[in-house]
Amino acid sequence: MLDLETLLSLKRLGPYNGDLQAHLDNLKLIGKYTPKIALVEIALRNSLDHLLSAKDTEWINNSTDPRVIQMRTETLKACKATTLNHDSHLSKMTLGMVIYLIRQEKLLAHILDATKIELQSYDPSNKKRHFINGRKSHLNHYHKAEAVLSLFHILRNRCYHWENITKVRVGKNGQTYPRLTTKILDNFIGIHPSKIEKFLEDLLRAFGEDLLRYANH
């Protein structure tokens, strides 16, 4: 029988300085966030499908996008099938593919209402005004939606790979900065670990108050 540290991997325990309790606490935190992460992912997939199905109910099978064609081919191979219906393809679509298509089809503003999202509320290092084309300006709603979508994708992947989502970076000035960051128009935007739940709730609200109420039911 292997000992506990070998089973958990000493290398993987490195970010926790070998603290087994900290490792377990992080897994429990991921478990706490998982329902809301799942709801955001489900809402993104179904919002995309709703908008594209309005034009073509078989948009996945009829798509000529090279990445969608590759996805269909790989899915058929994995399922050992020659054909799959629309819903089967949709259910197997990765989050990365969903986000790619939302951007490709320019649907972001139609799916997420970012008007009430305040990026600076997730960490003080997120400024109200950012450098855009060399000048300080406010990010528009589309760029804010881009930022939160990117941050969600990173957060979801880190959670589902059981990474340490509580880590922060300490700057030379001794100030802490988020490790969960994305870059929009040459500006870094991040989420402090203590603000992850607020971020997820704001993102759920961006789909509609009903989804947020359902998540907190």
In a domain, 3, yes or no: no
Residue 182 lies in a domain: yes
State how many domains the chain has.
Answer: 1
Q: 2 lies in a domain? A: no
pLDDT at 18: 85
User: Which of 1-15, 55-69, 103-117 is predicted with the least confidence, judged by mean pLDDT?
Assistant: 1-15
Tens-place pLDDT, residues 178-207: 999 998 887 889 999 999 999 999 999 999
pLDDT digits (tens, 9 = 90+) for 110-130: 999 988 899 999 999 887 665
Is 9 part of a structural domain of the chain?
no
Q: Which domain holds residue 151?
A: 18-215
Cα–Cα distance, 35 to 134 (Å, whole number): 40
CA pair distance 191, 119, nearest whole angstrom: 9
CA-based nearest residue to 114, from 140, 91, 79: 140
pLDDT per residue as tens digits for the range 130-170: 556 666 667 788 888 999 999 999 999 999 999 999 999 88
**pLDDT value at residue 134:** 64
Does residue 13 belong to any structural domain of this protein? Answer: no
Per-residue confidence (pLDDT) for residue 130, from 0 to 100: 58
